[in-house]
Amino acid sequence: MKKMIAIDLDGTTLNEESRISERTAHTLKRAMEDGHSVVIATGRPYRMSSEFYRQLQLTTPMVNFNGALVHLPEKHWENELETSFNRNIVFDIMQEKKNLKLDFIAAEDRDTFFIDDLNFFDKHMFASEATIDNLLTTDSLTKDPTSVIVRSQPQNLKSVAEELKQQYGSSVEVNTWGGPNSILEIVAKGIQKAHGLAHIVKVFDMNKEDIIAFGDEHNDVDMLAYAGWGVAMANGTDQVKEVANDITSKPNSEDGLAAYLEKYLDL
């Protein structure tokens, strides 16, 4: 039976240099040559993950913003799904920025982003340039965002997440970005990577039992639980390992995903 291989990026498919190694790229392409499909499911926006989509030469739908955007990159797709939440929450968080000990707040959709302090803008992290037009204000953010990211110091991240959930948990989900950045992502309530995969399964009349999913962070928990076979990375959190069907023998820094697939799919 051919599989849909759902892959998280940071801490899973990407190594410690935030790159897809030659071995991992080769293994995924081998899997596709054998008739399996590969779907990226990430918390990143498309502009920060497009290079990996192109590197793997994918033609499948992609899940961005932890499930808030399901689209077919660079193409018009009648089944595209984008879910937003009330922009007033963004303005509330801006007012609480100092109390929450946040470095910056950025609101995004599939096309653009706005950041409240250009001094914290990093073109590598945003995979873009920024001008004064990208400054987040009540005037610039005229429509509901698909995603909001906030950054704090690593030691504050857990308490910030708990405070955001307490205040806005009835309207939004709060997830970690994963990887080296101490960033939280906020998306609409009920939005998880599993939500994005379920949409793809429905559109293509697939069976979720034919999904093998890989992840390492708590924002991958629902995806691994949803998939027919969920695999946690050796470097993953205890939370994601608890719901997984299996755990890779090697971490992302040692091509753990590739090593697992080579055996699982007999490549």
Q: What is the DSSP string of 76-133?
A: --TT-EE----THHHHHHHHTHHHHTEEEEEEE-SS-EEES-GGG--HHHHTS---GG
Beta strands 147-152 and 183-188, pairing class = antiparallel
Query: Average pLDDT of each block of 10 consecutive residues along the chain (267 residues)?
Result: 95 95 98 98 92 97 96 95 96 95 94 91 83 94 95 91 94 80 91 97 96 95 98 97 98 98 95
Beta partners for residue 247, in sequence order: 232
Question: Are residues 159 and 150 in contact, defined by beta-carbon separation less than 8 angstroms?
Answer: no
| The pLDDT of residue 178 | 63
CATH of the domain at 25: 3.40.50.1000
| The pLDDT of residue 123 | 84
* Residue 232 domain boundaries: 4-82+191-265
Token digits of residue 87: 């922009």
Token digits of residue 263: 């055996």
Pair 246, 168 in one domain: no
Q: Domains in the chain: how many in total?
A: 2
Pair 73, 8 in one domain: yes
Pair 248, 176 in one domain: no
CATH of the domain at 134: 3.30.1240.10
| The pLDDT of residue 179 | 62
Single residue among 141, 173, 188 that ends a domain in this structure: 188
Query: Where in the sequence numbering do the catalytic residues fall?
Result: 8
Give me the helix-helix angle, 256-264 and 22-33, nearest 10°.
Answer: 30
